[in-house]
Amino acid sequence: MIVKYSLTLESIAKRIRVKEGVFRCTVMEVKMIEGYGTTIDCMLVDGRIKKDDTIVVLGF
């Protein structure tokens, strides 16, 4: 809700930059789903995710 509201503010929307081909996200949850294996729920912070993008997740 905060992200959606902040994008409606004209002053903030002008300062947002998207780098082509690069994205950042925050992992919210890691879980096992039968038939899919290990899955992650994440929140996209910056950029765009496209089909066939390679995603690297670093552990502790």
How much is the average pLDDT of 18-41? Answer: 83
What pLDDT does residue 53 have? 79
Q: Give the model's pLDDT for residue 35.
A: 93
Nearest to 60 by CA among 25, 30, 23, 24: 30
Beta strands per DSSP E along the chain: 24-33, 37-46
pTM of the model: 0.47
Residue linked to tokens 């950042």: 24
Residue 34 confidence (pLDDT): 93
